């Protein structure tokens, strides 16, 4: 990535606004809102369940436990919700001029089914499975940082501080841990996002994960695998930081 990339992203946004209007920036919002809640619920339920069972078999809270739990959670959530994200991507990729009627989610569902049948809703899932590596990296780094934070807190004299101060500092520390781990994981595994989006395009030359990977590199070069990384990080980092800290807070409250 070079220093011009943020300018390219801003220019692209300006082009969309000029040609298609402000509402075009919110394409795919409906499926995204519908998909986030079940996706996160399935993911964290699978992660917690796997982690609890593996802790009884392997060394508790070890890297192996975190890796396998994250992998199981990612696989489960991807398999269950891929159709929702395909519809979201199709709506986002729809090109139209200002004033033209937009395709809605239900029309998009009919179009996908008419064109490719049930299998059409699972396009790009192979790239999503490849993206499980991002989840694994994220959780391994996050759990490692969290353990160090716990050790640091235990060794330091925190008893003199008020509870409200401790809880606030814990919340902020967990947000920073989540932001750091997500930044590392996304930067390493980002190419799968590009491949997945290409596979979900309607009526394209892209057919499979490795075929698309090879074609993108041969036609556009290696740097094309990191297109949109800055924009993706701007969206993902605060999202993940808040989500992980909230998850830890809920677990803490439920444990009493």
Q: How far apart are CA 85 and CA 36, in angstroms?
A: 10
Domain that holds residue 11: 5-255
**Other beta carbons within 10 Å of 255:** 6
- In angstroms, what is the C-alpha Rg of the chain? 21
Q: What is the CATH number of the domain that holds 20?
A: 1.50.40.10
The count of structural domains within the chain is: 1
pLDDT in 10s for each residue of the chain, 256 residues: 444 444 444 445 555 555 665 655 656 566 666 667 788 889 888 998 999 999 999 888 888 898 899 999 999 999 998 888 888 888 877 755 555 567 778 888 898 999 889 988 998 888 889 889 998 899 889 989 988 888 877 666 555 455 544 566 778 888 999 999 999 999 999 999 999 989 888 777 888 899 999 999 999 999 999 998 998 999 889 989 988 888 888 877 777 5
pLDDT of residue 178: 93
How many residues comprise the chain?
A: 256
Q: How far apart are CA 140 and CA 68, in angstroms?
A: 10
pTM over 0.75: no
Q: What residues have CB less than 8 Å from 34, skipping those under 6 apart?
A: 84
Describe the crossing of helices 105-116 and 63-93 by its angle, rounded to 10 degrees.
100
């Amino acid at each position: 990535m070079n220093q011009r990339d943020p300018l390219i992203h801003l220019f692209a946004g300006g082009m969309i606004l000029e040609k298609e209007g402000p509402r075009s920036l919110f394409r795919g919002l409906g499926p995204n809102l519908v998909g986030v809640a079940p996706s996160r619920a399935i993911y964290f339920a699978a992660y917690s369940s796997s982690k609890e069972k593996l802790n009884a078999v392997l060394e508790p809270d070890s890297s192996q436990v975190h890796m396998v739990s994250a992998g199981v959670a990612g696989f489960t959530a991807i398999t269950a919700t891929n159709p929702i994200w395909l519809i979201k991507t199709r709506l986002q990729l729809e090109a139209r001029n200002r004033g033209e009627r937009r395709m809605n989610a239900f029309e998009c569902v009919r179009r996908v089914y008419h064109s490719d049948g049930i299998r059409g809703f699972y396009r790009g899932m192979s790239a999503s499975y490849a993206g499980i590596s991002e989840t694994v990296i994220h959780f391994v780094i996050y759990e490692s940082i969290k353990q160090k934070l716990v050790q640091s807190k235990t060794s330091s004299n925190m008893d003199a501080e008020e509870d409200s101060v401790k809880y606030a500092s814990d919340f902020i520390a967990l947000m920073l841990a989540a932001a750091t781990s997500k930044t590392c994981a996304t930067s390493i595994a980002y190419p799968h996002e590009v491949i997945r989006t290409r596979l979900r395009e309607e009526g394209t030359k892209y057919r499979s994960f490795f075929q698309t990977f090879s074609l993108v590199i041969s036609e556009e070069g290696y740097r094309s695998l990191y297109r949109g990384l800055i924009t993706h990080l701007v969206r993902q980092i605060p999202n993940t930081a808040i989500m992980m800290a909230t998850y830890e807070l809920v677990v803490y409250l439920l444990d009493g």
